[in-house]
Amino acid sequence: MSDPSNPFAGLLERINSSPDDNQDGKQTGGGDSSRPDKVTWQPDEASEDYDVRLSDGSIRPQSESALRSMVIELRKANLIDARHALLMLDIPDADEIAQALEDEMKLSALAKLQRK
């Protein structure tokens, strides 16, 4: 029976019971009995019943090392610029460093144009 105070109770009941289970929790058919750990994904037909909210910092990695690794990978993939990478890593004087990098890149591009 669903607990009306728990907004996830109905979802949990649907997750914990499947059409292949009887009341005793034994598999009755339709599933792969050779792989009891196998789970078949079924889309939630009542997704509009759920209101999911994430706080701003909830997707930020929990550890500094995880954050550092994520920022490095984002930078390697050119998904973020140097300024944002430095800011995400809380590097002191990040704006000043980023400006120096941008100035250096502009000078390098200008030098390449002058060589042509």
Contact yes or no for 82/75 (Cβ under 8 A):
yes
Radius of gyration for the alpha carbons in the chain, expressed in angstroms and rounded: 26
Please tell me whether residue 109 adopts helix, strand or coil conformation: helix
Single-letter amino acid code for the residue at 89? L
Strands (E) across the chain are located at none
Is residue 90 within 8 A of residue 99, CB to CB? The reply is: no
* The 3-state secondary structure of 43-65, one letter per residue: CCCCHHHCCCCCCCCCCCCCCHH
pTM, to two decimals = 0.45
The label of the residue with tokens 């669903």 reads 2
The predicted pLDDT at position 103 comes to 94
Give dist(CA 70, CA 63) in Å, integer.
11
Backbone phi and psi for residue 24, each to the nearest 5 degrees, phi listed first: -85, 0
Task: Render pLDDT for 48-99 as a digit per residue (tens, 0 to 9).
Answer: 888 888 787 777 777 888 889 999 999 999 999 999 999 999 999 999 999 9
pLDDT for res 52: 81
30 pLDDT above the threshold of 60 = no
Q: Which pLDDT value is given to residue 8?
A: 64
85 or 31: which leads in pLDDT: 85
